[in-house]
Amino acid sequence: METLKNLSRRNFIKLSGLTGTALTLGFGLPAFGKETEILKVEVAESLGIELNAWIHIDTAGKVTITNHRSEMGQGSFQSVPQMIAEELEVSLDKINIIFAPGNGRKYGSQVTGGSSTVRGSYQKLLKLGASAREMLIEAAAKKWSVSKAECYAENATVIHKPSGKKLGYGELVEEAAKLEPPKVVVLKDKKDYKVIRKPLPRQDTPSKVNGKAIFGLDFKLPGMLYAVVERSPRFQGKVVKFDDTETRKVPGVKHVLKVNRDEFGNMREGVAVVADNTWSAIQGRKVLVVEWDDSAFSHDSSDQLYSKMRELVKGDMISYKTQGNTTQTFAKAEKKIEATYETPYESHSCMEPLNCVANVTDDQCEIWGPIQGPDWIQGNIAGHLKMASEKVSVNMTFLGGGFGRKAFTDYPYEAVMISKEIKAPVQVVWTREDDMTIGPFRPGMVYQCKGTVTDSGRIGSYETKISGQNMDMQNPGADKTAYNGSDTEGFLEGYFNSIPHYSFGDAPLDSPVPVMWWRSVYSSTNAFAFESFLDEMALKADKDPLDFRRQHLSERYQLLINKLEEVSGWKARSKNQGFGVAITECFSSIVGEVVKVSKKPDGKVKIDKVWAVMDCGWYVNPDIIKAQVEGSIIMALGAATKHETTFKDGKAVERNFDTYKMSRINEIPEIEVHVMDNDEKAGGVGEPGLPPFTPALTNAIFDLTGKRIRKLPFSLEEVI
Amino acid sequence: MATLTLKLNNKNHTIEVDPKMPLLWAIRDIVGLTGTKYGCGIAQCGACTVHLEGTPIRSCSVPVSVAANKNITTIEGLSTDNSHPIQLAWIQEQVPQCGYCQSGQIMAATALLKKNPSPTDKDIDTAMQGHICRCGTYPRIRKAIKTASQLMSQKSSIK
């Protein structure tokens, strides 16, 4: 039970325009730890009548549904309400949707990552919607003095079947709020869904075509100042001294101060220039002189990083998973191959650069921003400020992209520390150059693969050593000798039961370059290595690439392969076309993609079409799934063929979109997406479409040209 | 510092500003209209696109003094009720994901259709390839421009 009395809640309510007195239900604590009962929770604030933490109904019948996750394009703003609306029996276009503030005790984890919003909470959100509906029906039955069994709910109204009497939810909510939540609720069968599984238009679209959607960078407070920060161009530099004489002469500049940034528990240093508008702060920073001490760490260049990784994959590894004896099998085998694959470092480069607003007073801290983990930031900041967590409120705006980068706590920390120091509300703005050069980055990786095929054309053994920076080894005190379950993610998923000998693991690289999750995380690079190598093995086995995969995979995969084969016309492909396939599992969803390439009159390769089949089990909105797969493919295309972050003398080289070249509208192939229909549990949607694209593309290029691409990125212009 | 008049969406704003400040920051920080976005600051991504006397420009790379006393249209000036055919088409085709680049995309597409009411794929490529979308909404942008073109021709044939 909890009482919500903090400033954040009040402001949040003010912003969302809700009024009235309240009563709320929530999950038993720990919120998402187990299948607990729904509890009644008293709330001291005015926010309409809250039937539970996600649902508010006012006496006029206005239904407001809370989205507890961040919206960065992936569609939680639609999928969370769409699930609740189904069981609550309300129409999606009649409801108001608001963001929850950071409050892990109330909402469970709010960290929006791992494509987890639907798959992590759907059973509970459906149950919440159904509980509220049952309470409203019970309230009506009591009012009419009839049996609850004679009543049902439809379109925000309770109806008494025998008499045809009706009462709207607004007329029932006060009574309903006094009732105990039901102990057991029956959820609908999917054949009866009216809202879920329908391609309903997103509720955030209208505000995203007229400039009204408020992203972090758009959020303003009265008297707010703007800060930009000069951070060490090498990743761990310390400020020796700075000269702000010229900076302070720039009109509009108000403060210049040292500020730290919490990067995985390590403090990184910078100097903030604070002004009354963004441009003045940027101008002031241009004439700021900072002397850095870079002596305590190595100044790596890309060549050195990759040389080290190529050495590391030849040495010992921290083993993740082994079965049988790959060394012996490889030594004895007749049909065997070896290959090394390399993938680049990448910047997240969300279109909205990092930014955050903070207002710190003596006993309160309030944050607004494009944030992927509001509850996480609340805990982190409360710890640093030594404040009780309810004194720290974290409010989510829309996110102009996230891709993993905005789950990180460093940029809210900067805003908080500057606001605390200058005693005023402040917005920290990262310029595009900051966003692209400071990191953290997707780690670059090197994979060494060894495999054998049997006489019957199956995989005999499969061995891979992975080298790259392990994200979980950056925290102070992290164990760098033990396997930590991260960087083999998605590798060979689906094949473990059908390969007699396998062995793979990790030979981690140590470097000052900070690294972080990037859409689909390690799967975004692992898939390139293992799906390319599967293709090379299929060739060695003299098998059709699709059939070669098919013979090793389970029934769920078989159905997806059949669908992929059918929609892509795989069997009917002709000689002057290159077809490539890849099938990967990521965040509990399986995605198969086929890429078709051909030669242009000038002999260069062009991508004609991509077919994707997504099996994410139980799903909410097929149109959002299609949009996410389209977007994932296009993001993968950029990382495969257009851009990479390189390093020279310890600094990131690519600073803006003139050198970090993104895919453009004229470079995008036709994409056709299909969604499997089955009774599997819900899987992720925002990320799993990304991993298979690149290997499907390079496999297609091999099919057309005989040229095997083992290092990314490559230029389509240079493939002949 | 200089006193300038910005004619934004048919409304005059008198502002006290460094004349070298890019129009983008004057619109966002001084006037307070935040629909126009900062993406790169070097005219590479198109997120800051507005119309200056009807022509699409990158407001991050144009000093505010250049735009003074001229007609500027931002995303907020397209319509008061999402009724512009481009906005209708963007909703119909469910284009935006994160939505951050869409103000710029929409302003570029509006300018394209004004000049060329029935653009080919190649015309769309030429007009839109200066605009980055990290979410990858490009296929839907292409579709929505064609839908908007149809909506506009229906509208004009009714007239």
Q: Is the peptide bond before A353 cis (omega within 30 degrees of 0)?
A: no
Which pLDDT score is estimated for A13?
30
DSSP for A374-432, written as a single string: HHHHHHHHHHHHT--GGGEEEEE-B-S--TTGGG-SHHHHHHHHHHHHHTS-EEEE--H
Which pLDDT score is estimated for A114?
86
- Contacts of residue A283 in chain B, CB cutoff 8 Å? 18
Stretch A7-30: mean pLDDT: 34
Query: For B139, which of A352, A399, A630 is closest by C-beta distance?
Result: A630
**Is the pLDDT score of A539 beyond 60?**
yes
Q: How confident is the model at residue A34 (pLDDT cuts 50, 70, 90)?
A: very low
Stretch A302-313: mean pLDDT: 98
Order of strands, edge to edge, in the sheet holding A151-154?
A151-154, A157-160, A166-168
Cα A466 to the chain's mean position, in Å? 23
Q: How many helices (H) and strands (E) does chain A have?
A: 16, 29
**Is the pLDDT score of A41 beyond 70?**
no
Q: Which residue has the higher pLDDT, A265 or A152?
A: A152
Three-state DSSP state, A58: coil
Chain B touched by A371 (CB under 8 Å): no
**Dist CA A633 CA A328 (whole Å):** 39
Cβ proximity of A1 and A39 under 8 Å:
yes
Stretch A47-68: mean pLDDT: 79
Q: How confident is the model at residue A16 (pLDDT cuts 50, 70, 90)?
A: very low
**Is the pLDDT score of B125 beyond 90?**
yes
| Matching residue, tokens 């005790």 | A105
Most confident segment among A185-189, A563-567, B154-158: A563-567
Strand partners, A448: A340, A465
Q: Left (φ > 0), alpha (ψ -120 to 50) or beta: where does A587 sit? A: left
- Closest-CA residue to A428 (of A284, A289, A274, A285): A274
Q: How confident is the model at residue A14 (pLDDT cuts 50, 70, 90)?
A: very low
**Dist CA A123 CA A408 (whole Å):** 28
Which pLDDT score is estimated for A37?
39
Task: Find the helix or strand (DSSP H, E) in which A292 lies.
Answer: strand A289-293
**Is the pLDDT score of B113 beyond 70?**
yes
Query: For B42, which of A402, A658, A668 is closest by C-beta distance?
Result: A658
A400:B98 CB<8 A: yes
**How far is the first Cα of chain B from the last one, in angstroms, to the nearest whole number?**
48
**Is the pLDDT score of A710 beyond 50?**
yes
- Closest-CA residue to B74 (of B89, B52, B96): B52
A687, closest residue in chain B (CA to CA): B135
Q: Strand A355-360 and strand A289-293: pairing?
A: unpaired
Which pLDDT score is estimated for B158?
66
A669, closest residue in chain B (CA to CA): B139
Quote the percentage of chain A above a pLDDT of 70: 93
**Is the pLDDT score of A110 beyond 90?**
no
- Contacts of residue A220 in chain B, CB cutoff 8 Å? 32, 34
**Is the pLDDT score of A584 beyond 70?**
yes
- Contacts of residue B103 in chain A, CB cutoff 8 Å? 211
Cβ proximity of A22 and A176 under 8 Å:
no
Cβ proximity of A375 and A30 under 8 Å:
no
Q: How confident is the model at residue A50 (pLDDT cuts 50, 70, 90)?
A: low
Which pLDDT score is estimated for A336?
97
Stretch A14-43: mean pLDDT: 36
pLDDT tens digits, residue range A663-696? 999 999 999 999 999 999 999 999 999 999 999 9
A635:B134 CB<8 A: yes
**Dist CA B41 CA B58 (whole Å):** 9
Q: Please report how the helices B138-158 and B85-92 are oriented relative to each other, as an axis angle in degrees rounded to 10.
A: 130
- Closest-CA residue to A187 (of A574, A618, A704, A683): A618
Which pLDDT score is estimated for A109?
82
Mean pLDDT, chain A, integer: 91
ipTM over 0.95 threshold:
yes
- Closest-CA residue to A301 (of A640, A538, A646): A646
Which pLDDT score is estimated for A104?
80
Selected residue of A665, A673, A685, A687 to mutate for chain B interface (largest B Cβ count, 10 A): A665
Query: For A211, which of B75, B124, B126 is closest by C-beta distance?
Result: B75
Q: Left (φ > 0), alpha (ψ -120 to 50) or beta: where does A48 sit? A: left
Query: For A210, which of B38, B82, B135 is closest by C-beta distance?
Result: B82
**Dist CA A114 CA A119 (whole Å):** 10
Cβ proximity of A450 and A467 under 8 Å:
no
Chain A touched by B58 (CB under 8 Å): no
pLDDT tens digits, residue range A400-409? 999 999 999 9
B78, closest residue in chain A (CA to CA): A210
C-alpha to C-alpha distances, A616 to A79, A82, A471, A625, B123, nearest whole angstrom? 14, 17, 27, 9, 37
pLDDT tens digits, residue range A697-709? 999 999 999 999 9
Which pLDDT score is estimated for B159?
55
- Contacts of residue B102 in chain A, CB cutoff 8 Å? 208-209
B29: DSSP letter: I
Give the pTM.
Answer: 0.94
Which pLDDT score is estimated for B155?
79
Alpha carbon of A690: minimum distance to chain B alpha carbons (Å): 12
Chain B touched by A574 (CB under 8 Å): no
Cβ proximity of A280 and B18 under 8 Å:
yes
Alpha helices in A225-373 (DSSP H): 278-286, 302-312, 326-332
C-alpha to C-alpha distances, A221 to A14, A277, A425, nearest whole angstrom? 14, 13, 7
Stretch A457-461: mean pLDDT: 97
- Closest-CA residue to A233 (of A434, A35, A28): A434
**Is the pLDDT score of A32 beyond 50?**
no
Quote the percentage of chain A above a pLDDT of 90: 78
Order of strands, edge to edge, in the sheet holding B49-52?
B11-17, B2-8, B71-73, B49-52, B55-58
Q: How confident is the model at residue A476 (pLDDT cuts 50, 70, 90)?
A: confident
| Matching residue, tokens 């099996």 | A615
**Dist CA B159 CA B147 (whole Å):** 19
Selected residue of B135, B142, B143, B145 to mutate for chain A interface (largest A Cβ count, 10 A): B135
Which of A170-179, A194-203, A375-384 shows the lowest mean pLDDT across its residues? A170-179
- Closest-CA residue to A526 (of A691, A337, A323): A691
Q: How confident is the model at residue B153 (pLDDT cuts 50, 70, 90)?
A: very high
Alpha carbon of B44: minimum distance to chain A alpha carbons (Å): 6
- Closest-CA residue to A417 (of A232, A409, A439): A409
Which pLDDT score is estimated for A39?
41
pLDDT tens digits, residue range B19-74? 999 999 999 999 999 999 999 999 999 999 999 999 999 999 999 999 999 999 99
Query: For A277, which of B30, B95, B140 is closest by C-beta distance?
Result: B30
- Contacts of residue B78 in chain A, CB cutoff 8 Å? 210
Which pLDDT score is estimated for A475?
85
